[in-house]
A and B are shown apart, each in its own frame.
Chain A
Amino acid sequence: MRFTRTKAIIIAAAAALLSAGLLIAATFALFSDSVKTVNHLQAGTLDVSLYKISETGVIADGNGIIPATAQTEDYSSSPIDLEASDASVFSLGNCVPGVWQEVTLQIVNNGTVAFDYSVSLVVTSELTGSAALLAEQLMVTVSDADGNAVVPAFSLAVAQERGEIALGSLTEANAASEFKVKVELPANESVLDSGAEGSTIMGAQVDFDISVKAQQKTEQA
């Protein structure tokens, strides 16, 4: 009788100890796993290039001779990088009524960020006297690659009011798009002589900036 009770107690104690051990062991024997990930955060780049692909028009040559028909220069095989400091967009010296020039420009997405692009013209010379008269008569047309006007032609005198003219978007790297800008002095008004200072457009000058802007594309709500 005594043996059986003692045995039972011992066995019970051992069982209790074992259970405790199991519990303790089990407490730390949970299934577990871990995955380590490495995250790289890198900013995109917005970088564009602007090239002149061609120019066409009726402009006076170095001898003051104005051709009867439009002359075209094609630079598509070697586009002119307009970011270069000495590259000009237009050659509009010695103009007379009837003279015009249209350039085809190409914008290229050299970066990784999609962007919207636009063009604007801002007169930088003082618009008084003959310069003001000339700015009123100079007509600007902005067209897409197919020659369709993006906006109605407007005079240089109101270019600043016109503001930025939206042209489109480039969403992929290395994508390119073309557009045209034309400046014309229409043969609307005959000028018989240079007249008093500032009274006609003979011997006049007007300066303006043409800007092409690319801005990160945002989704409209």
Chain B
Amino acid sequence: MKTKKMAVLSAALIIVLCAVVIVGATFALFGKKIDKSVTVTTGDVSISAEFGASPVLYSLVDGVQQKLSGESGNTFYLGGEASLDQDTGVLSLTGIIPGDKAEISLTIKNTSSVAIKYCVAANVTGSLASDAENGVIVNTGIESGTGYSWEEIAVQGEVTVTISVELPKAAEQIADGSCEVDFTIYAGQSNASDEDLETLFGLN
């Protein structure tokens, strides 16, 4: 009986020891791990835009368009006026006649972390805007005429464009003609296509 007990006890002990070995063996694998840290940051697109102090004016004098001296202030040769709101970027022209032209400078600075493309768009409202033949012509300094034209600016770079608003010499004079021109500068990452940027800003 004693012998039988001893045999059972020994067998049980052996079973327990085997289980311990098996459990221990499950986690006792060789291994190695290599960890590397990665940081992803995104850039930003931002610009600053500043108009020149006051418009430079031109009028027809003896049939020839001439630049008016600073003494004329914001008044055209025959009394029309031009004013620029620095805060809103709105150029107002009142009482202008064919041949009157106002030029303003616009400095655009790329304050982004990446190179950008920019485009200056002008929106004309008022009686002098409604007539395609006799209304004002706006040249945003990049490309005269229609459509949008995108140019690049490097990081921390800046560009100064000259914008002109003119009532053509051949335009029919519209009594008390006036208009307001507001300018919008669009900017996007430089690797975007012009089409994608125009879609982004709803320009097409």
Contacts and interface: CB of A to CB of B under 8 A. Distances in A.
A50 B192 CA distance: 36
Interface SS majority for chain A = loop
Interface string B171-202: 00000000000000000011110000000100
B38 A92 contact: yes
B32 A214 contact: yes
A113 B29 CA distance: 11
A138 interface: yes
Most chain-A CB neighbours within 10 Å: which of B33, B42, B190, B191?
Answer: B42
Interface size bracket, B side: 20 to 34
Contact of B40 (A65, A206, A212): A206
Q: Quick one: which of B29, B41, B46 has the most chain A CB within 10 A? A: B41
Contacts of B46: 193-194
Given A66-B115, A210-B35, A213-B34, 18 more contacts: A45-B30, A48-B32, A63-B115, A88-B36, A89-B38, A92-B41, A93-B39, A93-B41, A95-B40, A97-B189, A194-B44, A201-B42, A203-B42, A206-B39, A207-B39, A209-B37, A210-B38, A213-B32
B92 interface: no
Interface of A: 44-48, 50, 58, 60, 63-68, 82-83, 87-90, 92-98, 113, 115, 124, 134, 138, 156, 183, 185, 190, 192-194, 201-216, 218
